[in-house]
Structure 1
Amino acid sequence: MLITGCGSGTGDDNAKAKPAVEPKPLAAGALRPLLLSQADLGDGYVQEDPSNGEFDDVSVQGCASLENLGQNGDEMMFASQAETSFTYNAGATLGEELHSDRPSVLSSKLRELFGAYTSCPTYSMTAGNTPIEVKVAKSATPRIGDEQFAYTSTMELPSGAQVLKTMAVRKGNVAVLLVGAPALVDRHIQTAVDKLPANS
């Protein structure tokens, strides 16, 4: 259940109330043990190097909010992060990122990121010299954690269409983000969130 922070009492009481102290971000070293492992996922998964550079040289055309996001990428960085990646049965992929920051910062930046990615139903991108047409649709999310965001993107590649689901769940001062085959993201998001600290 999402807590909306509805208060009670008079305006004077609220004026005197001190703002709650937000938990500080976790360090990257504290995030790494919270990442999914092969033991968490089960048979058929092989851990990969998450930084394989597949989409390092990417430019976006036809979506102003994403173009602006790319130009202001440094402003969207979180205080700390950790990541890992898996292949499933030598075909499907599942990538995980953990980000930590103050809860209010995580919330606002995740809203901005997912808002940008779902603002254009279609756009073009170029990865290296490869043109890619992308279609995006918002996706339903399970009611877990404090906030949830998700969208599905279909990329028309020279090798054929590739469908990826991106889902993020914020739990306190940590957010987990899964990207990969939609069935794998749906299957493992609960496990990923369950590994986060209870009082983060």
Structure 2
Amino acid sequence: MLITGCSSGGGDDTQAEGKPVAEPKPLAEEALRPLLLSQADLGAGYLRVQEKAESERFEDVSVQGCAALEKLGQNGDDAMFASRAETSFTYGTRATFGEELHSDRPSVLSSGLRGLFSAYTSCTTYTMTAGTTQFEVKISESATPKLGDEQFAYTSTMDLPAGAQVLKTMAVRKGNIAVMLVGAPALVDRHIKTAVNKLPERS
């Protein structure tokens, strides 16, 4: 995947007398799928693409020059939360746009997202190898809209052989669900509010 970006603090999970409040349980993948963005939500020009098999998602991909990312591992983020649902689209001829929904107890989502985005923004530059292609990645933290309980974002610029590609990664936690968008910065900024608004008020 994807990620510290800018973030806002969550609410207080204790009652007035100091007793902890029971956290909502994670939603199952089946409950997350209807909350994903659809072509109808996005508008004209978007085409949904086939999801890759789990074994193909991180095949022959590695990171060099950033200790935090190397420690995180190729797929450490996928095992971090209790459930996940995802979808992806193409827009126009080249642009891609992906969404992931994750669910877990709010405290687990909060700490996990903070750690994940901290790892991805701990190095301003690093080298990525995909198959036999090696390229430099530059990372910068990004501003986030005030949505949900916490927000995180960063922008990555990849110096690919075919030219530079810029992607924005943004996550918003709302209770026990986190939505993450990855794609061209303008597309992420355009659709993050719609994605968050599809989430229930409190699950």
TM-score under structure 2 length normalisation = 0.89
Aligned residue for 1:140? 143
Aligned residue for 1:94? 97
Question: Does 1:82 find its partner at 2:89?
Answer: no
Question: Does 1:118 find its partner at 2:121?
Answer: yes
For 1:196 and 1:74, the matched residues in 2 are separated by 21
Equivalent residues of 1:76, 1:109 under 8 A apart: no
Question: Does 1:5 find its partner at 2:12?
Answer: yes
Change (3 A) 1:70 1:149: same
Cα offset, 1:197, TM superposition: 0.8
Q: How does 1:62-73 map to 2 (within 5 A)?
A: 62-70=65-73, 73=76
Greater CA radius of gyration, 1 or 2? 1
For 2:197 and 2:181, the matched residues in 1 are separated by 14
The alignment yields a C-alpha RMSD, in angstroms, of 2.2
Cα offset, 1:110, TM superposition: 0.2
Equivalent residues of 1:50, 1:95 under 8 A apart: no
Aligned residue for 1:159? 162
For 2:192 and 2:38, the matched residues in 1 are separated by 13
Question: Does 1:191 find its partner at 2:190?
Answer: no
Equivalent residues of 1:155, 1:161 under 8 A apart: yes
Aligned residue for 2:130? 127
Question: Could you report, residue by residue, the CA deviation over 1:24-48 in whole angstroms, capped at 9, with x for unpaired residues?
Answer: 0000000000000000000000000
Where does the alignment leave 5 or more consecutive residues of structure 2 unmatched?
1-7
Change (3 A) 1:64 1:177: same
Aligned residue for 1:26? 27
Equivalent residues of 1:125, 1:133 under 8 A apart: yes
Cα offset, 1:150, TM superposition: 0.2
Equivalent residues of 2:13, 2:21 under 8 A apart: no
More helix as a share of residues: 1
TM-score under structure 1 length normalisation = 0.90
Among 105, 108, 117, the alignment partner of 1:105 is 108
Change (3 A) 1:57 1:191: same
Segment of structure 1 superposing worse, 85-94 or 65-74: 65-74
SS at match of 1:73: coil
Question: Could you report, residue by residue, the CA deviation over 1:164-194 in whole angstroms, capped at 9, with x for unpaired residues?
Answer: 0000000000000000000000000000000
For 2:197 and 2:59, the matched residues in 1 are separated by 30
Cα offset, 1:6, TM superposition: 9.4
Higher relative contact order by CA 8 Å / sep ≥ 6: 1 or 2? 2
Equivalent residues of 1:32, 1:82 under 8 A apart: yes
Percent of counterpart pairs with the same letter?
A: 71
- Aligned length in residues: 194
Letter in structure 1 aligned against 2:61: V
Where does the alignment leave 5 or more consecutive residues of structure 1 unmatched?
none
